[in-house]
Chain A
Amino acid sequence: MLWLYLHFPHLLLDHIRRDRQDQRPLVIVEGTGQHVLQACPEARNRGVQTGMRLKTAVTLAPELGIVRAQPEQDARILEDQARWLYRYAAHITLVSPDGLLAEIGSLQKLYGGLPAVWQTVEQALDEHRLTAWAATGHTPLAARLIARAGKGECTGDRGHILRTLETMSLATAEFDAKTCTRLQRLGLNTLGEVFALPAPELARRLSPEILAHIQKIRGTRPDPQAPWQPPHSFRQQADFVQEIEHSQGLLFPLQRMLSELEDDLCWRQQDTDSLHLILQHRHEEDTRLRIRTSGPEHRADGFLNLIRLRLEQQPLRAPVVALVLSVKRFIGREAPAGQDLLGKSQDLNEAWHTLISRLQARLGDHALKRLSPQEDHRPERAWSASEVQSKHKPRLTNPEHLPRRPLWLLQGPQPLTEPPTAWFSGPERISGGWWDGERVHRDYYIAQLRSGQLAWVFRDVREGWFIHGWFG
């Protein structure tokens, strides 16, 4: 077994920096806001250093962006990284708060050698604009220690790894302070010296737990790792240092998130038809937007166009501090059915979805209606309007059996104010609705008005005359 450990020295910083358009200095401060935990290169150029007091840092760089670290945020960001790493390696373990462990011994054959695996991961890290210290090791702990010490190398040679470990100091071997002191009092300064001691002596003088730790580093004791399983959903979050006041400013981070969504969907070989967008505000309740496409979609620019339309329609209620994009519904990608040689029919289908999605995004889902006849004798109930969703819906109609009806139906019957000049057919008695309380008892006629219009008029029980439709 060979393990790869990725240590992210400033994960939160990387996470925030990639959604920033301007490159102003940025630091991460600890929860109490006293000391600098992580500083970006721009800040370091100004002399800001890790561990420095915040006051000193602000004096050095007055326009410094400051972000407070939150432990729960770290876990979420780490999981984001695990999600992309899962595309390359199957056996992944999350090491909180800032490390990922992947088993790569079994991948060498797939990628064609250890250097190829290493290169693939480095390339992916580069794409995601992450800083990581990587190392390989014959045990999980060995890989972790070497990575955290920054001495990582791409090697599968057990002897070489052990030699690297032996030169490392006790402090970097993650012993607690008390053990460190005890070992130093024994005259031991490097891991190699500890390794040289006989195991029974170590267990007797120190403790069996410390012996286990040492044996796990060396690989003489098994160290099983539970594999991490990716969730069946997509979630991306962008946190902003400066609040975003205009929806235009959201488009830049959205572009990145959507292209990651596209990658994710391509990798899953799935599509989606609804996105959830949560805009978090500092003092107000979150704005939740649901972006729907009328058909399965996976392309980032398709989604981006819809979101842009939606944001144009709906101005921001308050400045945005964070943006979350999540997708829970996945649809299996269909093989293009019935496609002709030139691919024309498929294009039309896609164009239809694009058009309907665009219209729905701007006008709202309820503005677009599809009409269908219903099985009822009452004219008001003999039709229905439903939202336009998917294109093909099998529907049983036998149009020959439908009675003659006008092409226009009025929203509600309107009183007939003048006597018609001519009467044509009728009466057609329609009586029903006693079962649901909306009783209709009418005699319908076709009549021509003085203006030349052909009207569908009725007389109801109360002896009133009404126009209900036009023969347009």
Chain B
Amino acid sequence: MSELLNTLMQDARVWQGHRHNKTTTPSESTGYQLLDNQLGGIGWPRGALSECLVDQPGIGEIHLLLPLMQRLTGTGKTVFWLNPPHTPYAPALAREGINLDQVVMIQTGDGGDFLWTLENCLRSPVTGLVMAWPGKLATRDIRRLQLASESGSNVCVLFRERRYTDQNSPAALRLELTPGDHQDLKINVIKRRGSWPGQRCSLAMAHRADLAFRETPQVVQGPWHQSRR
């Protein structure tokens, strides 16, 4: 038996988990040191799909991408928002130092248009980042997008609902985002290339509403009356 194992071990075709090779996939730093560490020092993969699984807006999911957006728009790359669920608010983006000339928002009609648009954006050399809210996607469609993203070298982040967590996906990086107790963002790495998934971390996101200086959240007691609503 051990002889058989030894033969298998010597065979180069068997991958061994402890021999962890550093992958050299092109990538962009997330801008959050803590998250970069969890992702093996890489960050957002370029030329591959990333998925953020998130249920509600307003938990810091856009702030997760802000450092990348700032960097890309500063270097003249274009950031596309494809079918965002709400309006990206221009004054807030400008305040964060994003060059709005490089930001394009696209609203498409049906699913066919969506995939076509996303593919075109991904294949173009001018694109730095595409943030897309696809709604329902078949695995085949994700596969198609993955191929398109491989032909370019830009970051593509799909925002999907958390119920797709268990669904298999060809995306290179999958992050599950949930809100923490202190306005922070809890990140669970479901899948990543080159190593084991399962890392968890929590990023402080209180600064997104200028709350960093407040220790206790109960500073202003709102004039909320527990009456009719």
Contacts and interface: CB of A to CB of B under 8 A. Distances in A.
Interface in B145-163: none
A88 interface: no
Contacts of B32: none
Interface string B101-120: 10111111100010011001
A404 B78 CA distance: 24
A355 B125 CA distance: 9
B217 A424 contact: yes
Nearest to B114: A363
Q: Which of B90, B97, B117, B220 has the most CB of A within 10 A?
A: B90
A425 B209 contact: yes
A385 B105 contact: yes
Contact of B101 (A354, A392, A423): A392
Interface stretch (B35-43, B195-203, B221-229): B221-229
Interface of B: 56-63, 76, 78, 85-97, 100-101, 103-109, 113, 116-117, 120-121, 124-127, 178-181, 183, 208-211, 214, 217-224, 226, 229
Given A383-B91, A424-B220, A355 B124 contact: yes
A359 B106 contact: yes
Contacts of A204: none
15 contacts: A351-B124, A355-B121, A359-B120, A363-B106, A363-B113, A368-B104, A368-B106, A373-B91, A407-B62, A407-B92, A410-B86, A416-B229, A420-B222, A425-B211, A453-B57
Contact of A423 (B58, B97, B107, B221): B221
A406 B117 contact: no
A430 to B, nearest CB: 13
* Prevailing SS type, chain A contact patch: mixed
Interface stretch (A76-84, A130-138, A443-451): A443-451
A352 to B, nearest CB: 4
Contact of B78 (A352, A369, A419, A422): A352
B87 A408 contact: yes
A108 B116 CA distance: 56
B95 A445 contact: no
B223 A459 contact: yes
Given A384-B90, A406-B92, A362 B113 contact: yes
Interface of A: 347-348, 351-352, 354-356, 358-359, 362-363, 367-374, 379, 382-385, 388, 391-393, 395, 397, 399-400, 402-411, 416-417, 419-420, 422-426, 445-449, 451-455, 459, 465, 469-472
B179 A453 contact: yes
A362 B91 CA distance: 29
Contacts of A400: 95
A407 B229 contact: no
A453 B56 contact: yes
B224 A348 contact: no
A431 B101 CA distance: 30
Contacts of B208: 407, 454, 471-472
A417 B181 CA distance: 21
Contacts of B219: 423-425
Contact of B106 (A369, A383, A425): A369
Contact of A448 (B57, B61, B127, B217): B217
A395 B221 contact: no
Contact of A455 (B58, B92, B95): B58
B214 A424 contact: yes
A343 B11 CA distance: 48
B209 A453 contact: no
A371 B88 CA distance: 8
Top 5 A-B pairs, shortest CB-CB distance: A452-B179, A470-B58, A453-B58, A472-B62, A383-B90
Given A370-B103, A453-B59, A423 B90 contact: no
A407 B210 CA distance: 13
Contacts of A454: 58-60, 183, 208-209
B3 to A, nearest CB: 56
B94 A370 contact: no
Contact of B209 (A358, A362, A420, A424): A424
Given A370-B104, A407-B63, A470 B218 contact: no
Contacts of B218: 422-423
B105 A369 contact: yes
